[in-house]
Chains A and B, each alone.
Chain A
Amino acid sequence: MLWEALFLQLGYNATLVTLGACFLGVAAGVTGTFLFLRKRALVSDAISHATLPGVALAFIVMVTFGGDGRHLIGLLLGSAASAGIGLLCVSWLTRYTRLAEDAAIGAVLSVFFGFGIVLLTIIQSMSAGRQAGLEGFLLGSTAGMLWSDAIVILIGGLATLALVLAFRRPMSLVAFDPEFAAANGMNVARIDLLIMGLAMAVTVVGLKIVGLILIVAMLIIPPVTARFWTDRTDHVSLISGIVGGVSGYVGAGLSASAPNVPTGPIIVLVSFALFCVALFFAPNRGVLAAVLRHFRFQHRVHMRQGLLALAQGQPIYEKLTLRLLQRAGLARPDGVATEAGRARAAKALRDEKRWEVVRADQAFEGAAALYDGLREIETVLTQDQITEIDHRIGGPAGVPT
């Protein structure tokens, strides 16, 4: 069943939803990247909640003028208008009052959503039974998705992607260094508004599939996931698009293949699963990599200290040190150095003495700054320099030649 869903064999509606969700995921992932890099991920929360009064007002207006209240484009236009007003409120509050951004986001989110709920109750009392489609905008509903809805999503998503592509350089510049961008003559406030406006466009487009509460996740989770895998902006937004697309595709497939599985939540959970994989297994930034790095560092410290102890004839009590030395064939179980161990220990002690000279000499200031007790001196100084230092240290004193 699942394979059929993933290979688009489950009929017209399921295929439409799967492709739409996949495309929405790509658009949301790419757009969300800049919001995340600008450290404004939660602005999307305010934007998405602020769509509700627009949806409700659009419905009321369309019904009042005798139309079908559930016309998708009308509802989306309404939601875009109110989300835009919400967005302007957030940036006005943070620019012109002393409120911090999080307070502005929270205020806009709750007030707009609360007002939206007031409007929803008005609709309930207005024309009985005709508002069934509106609840779907809270959590998304894909059951009645039409070809025309899919086209709206496709065009909206494509336009958003094109804008992101066109403005990716100023947007990443502002995301990383707004002051430098301002010094270069860019209008930071306007570019910020563009970043948030694009997120708003994705939100509006995605309302139908995942609903306004969960679209936030599609804007936040893929970029956060992508950030684990790479340090380059363009790669982050590319991977983020892929993560979003995969979670949209797989999520919609899963939802089509089992009963009672709503599309929006399952898409979010798939992307959360991808996030967990990244959190634990990503190279360099992942938890596993950090643990391994810690162990490697621990081993190096223990080896170094163990060798120095061997060289100075001190007994080793630390069990881990002893085990490491033993495993490397440098010491016997009773803590006595082997032949190889004595050689390595002598080298370690000599290196320590060399470092001492380096750190005492102003001429080696640059190299001395790199001293951390673990670094091999050969990686910092040339052979000639080491020979010169050795010359200064001199040979063993008090030993007849």
Chain B
Amino acid sequence: MNGAEFVPLSLPPLLIGVFAAIACALPGNFLVLRKQALIGDAISHVVLPGIVVAFLITGSVSTWPMMIGAAGASIIAVVLIEAIRRLGRIEPGAAMGVAFTAMFAAGVLLLEQSDTSSVHLDVEHALYGNLESLIWLDALGWQSLWDPVALAGLPPELIRMSATLVAVSAFVWIFWRPLKISTFDEGFARTLGMRTNLLGLALVAVAAIAAVAAFDAVGSIIVIAMFICPPAAARLMTNRLEAQIMWSIVFATLSAVLGYLAAGFGPQMLGFSNAVSAAGMIATVSGLILALTAVFGPCRKRLGAPAV
């Protein structure tokens, strides 16, 4: 494939996929270690009611109101989960299950009730995203990467996703020490004077930002898969957090690239005419990577007794 074809059609979605995968995998490392992995699942479900409400208020399918709506919905969901957990003294998993399914159901109901036939807004879109359609029409080839006129026509999702990735990396970089200590030994972190509650909330908020930004570009499925699969696979490779983060970035990038390529070119090689869903394929590849590490990873065994 030559540059004239690759740069406008494949490079932007590929980059968006990689950035989204890494932006989700970074906070995912801490969420997996803190046994809060499913918060990403909950957030990506409640994004739907958020965007539907935003659509009903503004009446248009524009990006910013929807992202604000999605972010608002994820904050409401986190608060609701915490409220149910504390007020009802229910275990966190069940509280999460109650909250996000109810909000998702409300979203579907609102969607069916409102007149959205004129716009492209449906459940499938929220789930799969539309990675393949994020093309860069102004590009003519590799030289366009240095052409300011062509660069102005980059898909806005690419710019948003890279900004999100920078923000997420900055958060992890700046709060590295507190995050690491409070993840492994919360009591010790508190004796050092760290506000662990606040830090936990900030971590969830960063995860929500990554989820909302990634959802807009690539759909919910990648978000859940990237929150959990690369960090979980990395966890089976090493005992050091620094190395785990590096592995998770490698795995996230691998899943995004291989998944995108397999979705785009795999069916053609097998003789089918149409491409398959890139989002689904990226999730599948990340699962395959996890399966490989679960069977061959050097640190896959648990030390000590398994949790009953």
Contact = CB atoms under 8 A, between A and B. Distances in A.
A127 B308 CA distance: 47
B40 A106 contact: yes
B87 A287 contact: yes
B283 A110 contact: yes
Interface in B260-301: 263, 267, 272-277, 279-284, 286-287, 290, 294, 297, 299-301
Contacts of B294: 93, 96-97, 99
A101 B93 CA distance: 11
Nearest to B89: A285
Contacts of A216: 97, 101
B41 interface: yes
Nearest to A93: B294
Contacts of B235: 98-99, 103
A279 interface: yes
A227 interface: yes
A188 B90 CA distance: 24
Q: How large is the interface on A (under 10, 10 to 19, 20 to 34, 35 or more residues)?
A: 35 or more
Interface stretch (B105-113, B154-162, B164-172, B178-186): B105-113
A110 B127 CA distance: 11
Interface in B23-50: 32, 35-38, 40-41, 45
A269 interface: yes
Interface string B77-102: 00000001001111101111110011
B50 to A, nearest CB: 16
Q: How large is the interface on B (under 10, 10 to 19, 20 to 34, 35 or more residues)?
A: 35 or more
A213 B104 contact: yes
A214 B290 contact: no
A228 interface: yes
Contacts of A265: 104-106, 108-109, 112
Contacts of A107: 225, 228-229, 232, 287, 290
B212 interface: no
A182 B306 CA distance: 14
B307 A109 contact: no
Contact of B105 (A39, A227, A228, A269): A269
Given A99-B232, A118-B281, A125 B105 contact: no
Contacts of B45: 213
A279 B102 contact: no
A288 to B, nearest CB: 11
B236 interface: yes
B232 A102 contact: no
A199 B215 CA distance: 30
Interface string A252-275: 000000001110111011001001
A61 interface: no
Interface stretch (A162-170, A217-225, A344-352, A357-365): A217-225
B136 interface: no
A279 B88 contact: yes
A139 B97 contact: no
B239 to A, nearest CB: 10
A98 B301 contact: yes
B227 interface: yes
B201 interface: no
A217 B99 CA distance: 9
B242 interface: no
Interface in A96-148: 96-107, 109-118, 120-122, 124-125, 135, 138-139
A334 to B, nearest CB: 41
Interface string B214-247: 0000000110110111011001100000000000
Interface in B187-220: none
Contacts of B124: 135, 138
A117 B127 contact: yes
A102 B281 contact: no
A139 B107 CA distance: 12
A110 B98 contact: no
B300 A110 contact: no
Contacts of A138: 123-124, 127
Contacts of A285: 88-89
B93 A117 contact: no
B142 interface: no
B290 A100 contact: no
Interface string A266-298: 101100100100010000010100100000000
Most chain A CB inside 10 Å of its own CB: which residue of B40, B221, B267: B221
Top 3 closest A-B pairs, CB basis? A114-B283, A111-B287, A117-B280
Given A124-B274, A188-B308, A260-B112, 17 more contacts: A41-B97, A44-B97, A45-B97, A95-B306, A97-B302, A102-B93, A105-B38, A107-B229, A110-B225, A114-B281, A122-B276, A182-B308, A217-B98, A221-B97, A224-B98, A264-B108, A272-B98
12 contacts: A39-B91, A45-B38, A99-B294, A103-B232, A104-B232, A106-B40, A111-B229, A116-B280, A122-B272, A217-B105, A220-B101, A275-B102
